Structure 1
Amino acid sequence: MSFRRMLRMLSWLFGFAAGVTAVIVAFFARRMVAPARQPLWTSPAEMGMTFENVQFPAQDGVRLSGWFIPAPRDGGRAGATIILAHDWTWNRLGDAAADLLANLSGATPVELLRLAHALHFEGYHILMFDQRNHGESAAHPPVTFGQAEANDLQGALAYLHTRPEVDKARVGVIGFSMGANAVLYSLPLTDDIGAAIAVQPMTMATYAQGYARDLLGAAGGLVLPLIESTYAAFSGVRLDALQPSFAAAGGGGTPVLFVQCKADPWGSMEDVNRLRSATPEGQGPLYVDGNHRYQGYQYLIENPRIAVAFFEQYIG
């Protein structure tokens, strides 16, 4: 092979690698700033629950859409209400896990409506809503993995205050990942959360490292700084500046139960334990057996009595 031909081949290979890298960086940065939306695939009526389509503003005015599911008349909880706060790229129903990335990452469907049904059966009012940039709620990029989304949770709490059937002193929240972070960011801002369950909250820089390593292997460590820089350039937010533990430290007297999968390749028990330690009334973590993050999400759905017993103690 001639030297010139070898140079052309190396140049072609370098260009191909650079092109693939650029596509990966653009895809993930775009997904972080404003993810593609999952459409709603069912409704509470399919599980025999009456509901209202509702809209309300986030604390900073962003329009949010959701469902209010009133408790059965004979429920006996006297106004106790649970808010469900979903994760990044999901919607109020959870995650359909139906795209190519879900197949590559091993994600499995998460049906939050099953958890809502179990809590409804126990006599709770339920509020399910789409966070900003997700589902049917308004666009307001960038996604900040709980920091700005805390405004959505504050708006949900304010909306519940307008409903006469809701006891304002008996409101609980279950947050999943980004939704759990929104809970932690909200703790110093309100006394209206009677109790909360934080399912796999995360320090975003730690999560990004695990996610990139699991999905891209050794190349993840090379590509991640480019993704982080691109996200920061478009959003004005640095991942390492997103520190829910700082907010959680001002959480006051709100009891928060932490849940984390033991062998989660994207998050870590150490990170969640640090978040729990920073939360004044943090409990757990409740460690879930499994080797994938989605097994941690599924735990409460498969074992709703854990949530029922926790909320009975504090708001039920």
Structure 2
Amino acid sequence: MRSDEEITQLLKGIARHEGVLDSVRSPLLRSPADLGLAFEDVWFPSLDGVPLEAWYIPCAGSGKLVIVNHPRWFNRYGLPAHLEPWRSNGAPTGNDFEVDFIPDYRILHDAGYNVLTYDERNFGHSGAANGGVNSGGRYEVRDVIGSLTYARTRPDLKDMTIGLFSRCQGATASIFAMAEHPEHFEGVRCMVASQPLSVGVLLQRVLERLGLSDRFEELDREVKAVASFGLADMSPVEAAKNVMVPTFLYQVHDDLLTRPSDVQAIFDNIPADKKLTWIHGTTRRWDGYLHFQREPQQMLEWFATHMS
């Protein structure tokens, strides 16, 4: 049996390491060149000036651009979860294998899209910001806006048709951005959103595995003490009511890191044209991140329909 003091210290550690702070940056082990893609190393400022490092992958003759972002812990390459320390972080939930996003860019390129993909603040090679606090998508809103501004001000991109491919925290940040800065999404044709979630639900699942479900309110206080955001502030469910672009969501149904009810609530609140696909046969969240490269047809059809 843990003492109350031991539990309190454990909750403080969860708040920092699994909640909102001390995210370990992961390296970029691969690049588009590994799959024969010509690309440019570029950078642009976030809305608040944080420098964001990115790859631009041109598709000759195309006037369509897909802007891609990434989940928390990841970067534009993916995540080396087959290596330490990232492997140990994912092992308890079976997410201890590499996620490589480069095949996604190859698929998009070959389908006729230019691709812009960037590292969010505090990840990959992008700038540190906000004291290293990860806000579940709230501060990362500024990175989403920065990517759109870059696309609309770069001379060879400014007239392109834009779609978004937003993953996990990147998807949540995109949803918050549409609520806070709707003017920046005028003309955005659609979004494919992979596995958005509420940080509070993720932490509820962590407490369940530890047998500490009754300590959620205490954990919420610890998170707010670190980040100045409560867990309710980091849920995109209410913000989803402001998503006005056609949106395709997909999610591992039995994902050990969340609950299907959370994604269903996000989806139900979206007033725009929308579609939700559940991925069955796995409990591993990382399988959801690899779903596009394994079965891209539905998502490519969504982009094609709305970006034509």
Q: Does 1:204 align with 2:199?
A: yes
Give the match for residue 295 of structure 2.
303
The answer (yes or no) to whether the contact 2:93–2:257 under 8 Å persists in 1 is: no
Give the match for residue 43 of structure 1.
31
The answer (yes or no) to whether the contact 2:164–2:192 under 8 Å persists in 1 is: yes
Distance, in Å, in 1 between the alignment partners of 2:58 and 2:160 is 17
Identity rate of aligned residues, in percent?
A: 25
Q: 1:250 to 1:266 in 2, by over 3 A?
A: same
Distance, in Å, in 1 between the alignment partners of 2:287 and 2:273 is 22
The alignment's TM-score, normalised by the length of structure 1, stands at: 0.86
With 271-280 and 29-38 compared, the bigger mean Cα shift is at: 29-38
The answer (yes or no) to whether the contact 1:169–1:192 under 8 Å persists in 2 is: no
1:282 positional shift: 4.7
The answer (yes or no) to whether the contact 1:60–1:151 under 8 Å persists in 2 is: yes
Partner SS state of residue 203, structure 2: helix
Q: 1:52 to 1:168 in 2, by over 3 A?
A: same
Instruction: Give runs of aligned pairs for residues 1-316 of structure 1, distance below 5 A.
Output: 18-19=5-6, 22=9, 25-26=12-13, 28-31=15-18, 32-71=20-59, 73=60, 76=61, 78-97=62-81, 98=83, 99=86, 100-107=88-95, 108-140=97-129, 141-166=132-157, 168=159, 170-188=161-179, 189=181, 190=184, 191-213=186-208, 216-219=209-212, 221=213, 224-252=216-244, 254-289=245-280, 290-316=282-308
Letter in 2 for 1:57: P
The answer (yes or no) to whether the contact 1:34–1:133 under 8 Å persists in 2 is: no
Partner SS state of residue 254, structure 2: coil
Give unmatched runs, 5+ long, in structure 1: 1-12
The answer (yes or no) to whether the contact 1:40–1:93 under 8 Å persists in 2 is: yes
Give unmatched runs, 5+ long, in structure 2: none
Partner SS state of residue 310, structure 1: helix
The answer (yes or no) to whether the contact 1:26–1:227 under 8 Å persists in 2 is: no
**1:255-284 CA deviation, whole Å, 9 max, x = no partner?**
011111111122222221211121111522
Letter in 2 for 1:90: F
Distance, in Å, in 2 between the alignment partners of 1:283 and 1:143 is 28
1:95 positional shift: 1.6
**1:153-201 CA deviation, whole Å, 9 max, x = no partner?**
1100111112333254511111111011012112242224221011111
The answer (yes or no) to whether the contact 1:196–1:255 under 8 Å persists in 2 is: yes
Distance, in Å, in 2 between the alignment partners of 1:192 and 1:179 is 19
The answer (yes or no) to whether the contact 1:211–1:265 under 8 Å persists in 2 is: no
1:129 positional shift: 0.7
Distance, in Å, in 2 between the alignment partners of 1:185 and 1:237 is 14
The answer (yes or no) to whether the contact 2:71–2:167 under 8 Å persists in 1 is: yes
The answer (yes or no) to whether the contact 1:276–1:282 under 8 Å persists in 2 is: no
RMSD between aligned residues: 2.2
The answer (yes or no) to whether the contact 2:28–2:78 under 8 Å persists in 1 is: no
1:70 positional shift: 0.8
The answer (yes or no) to whether the contact 2:65–2:160 under 8 Å persists in 1 is: no
Letter in 2 for 1:88: R
The answer (yes or no) to whether the contact 2:93–2:284 under 8 Å persists in 1 is: no
Q: 1:304 to 1:14 in 2, by over 3 A?
A: closer
Partner SS state of residue 265, structure 2: helix
Q: How many residue pairs were aligned?
A: 295
Q: 1:168 to 1:183 in 2, by over 3 A?
A: farther
1:209 positional shift: 0.9
1:41 positional shift: 0.6
